[in-house]
Amino acid sequence: MKNLTQGKLKELYIKNKKSTAEIAEIFKCSERGINYWLKKYCISKRTISEAIYVKNHPKGDPFKFIPPKNMEEAKLFGLGIGLYWGEGNKANKNTVKLGNSDASLLRKFIKFLVIFFNIDKKDLKFHLHTFSDINLNEAYNYWTRELKIKKEQFYKPTITITGKLGNYRNKSKYGVLTVYYANTKLRNILVNLLPM
């Protein structure tokens, strides 16, 4: 492995995001040998979660914040960050989550994720929380129509047995829908953008 210089190893492992197995194959040696040289050259190894992320995104990190380009986008960005700050679940370290009963609010949040973080809308998941006296098919039809999503994107719903009907029930004719986007990196970018 005379050709495996520190510069070459950094290029392959850090810049080109090659795995230790891929580098070992290039140099016709063992993974153990590559790990030895990483340690010898003081090149920090990726964590398991980082390695999985790199493997699943071979073209690079798709979640880079794209700043607003005009006043209209700036308004949408402010609205999206405000919604996540006020309504989003920041406690979950691996997933972007936001729930509401207002379809127009969720539509804006989804648009915010698509425009500023380049997410693919078909990768979103949804969880519906309804009451036992709400027609489940009607609720699904409402949300799929309003948000232009597919029923296959839904997790199993949570159905609460209806007791006394109050104001909350009247506001939630089609239940409460939570938007999920499972990505630790995106969640961290969003949290770091919050004005705290």
Model confidence pLDDT, tens digit, residues 128-157: 999 888 899 999 999 999 999 999 999 999
DSSP assignment letter at 32? H
22, 108: one domain: no
Q: How far apart are CA 13 and CA 20, in angstroms?
A: 7
Q: How far apart are CA 129 and CA 92, in angstroms?
A: 19
115, 173: one domain: yes
Structure tokens given for 102: 């207002």
Structure tokens given for 19: 């795995």
Quote the domain boundaries for residue 43. 6-56
pTM: 0.69
Contact 178, 97 (CB under 8 A): yes
- Domains identified in the chain, total number: 2
Contact 51, 19 (CB under 8 A): yes
Domain contains 135: yes
Count of Cβ atoms closer than 10 Å to residue 177 Cβ: 26
Sheet holding 176-182, edge to edge: 95-100, 176-182, 125-131, 158-160
Give the pLDDT confidence score for residue 64 in this predicted structure.
73
Range scoring the smallest mean pLDDT among 23-27, 51-55, 99-103, 158-162: 51-55
192 by DSSP, 3-state: which?
Answer: helix
89, 153: one domain: yes
Q: How far apart are CA 14 and CA 54, in angstroms?
A: 11
Confidence label for 167 from pLDDT (cuts 50, 70 and 90): very low
Domain contains 65: no
Contact 96, 180 (CB under 8 A): yes
In the predicted structure, residue 59 carries a pLDDT above the cut 50: yes
137, 180: one domain: yes
Structure tokens given for 43: 């090149």
Query: Per residue in 96-133, pLDDT tens?
Result: 999 999 999 999 999 999 999 989 999 999 999 998 88
117, 176: one domain: yes
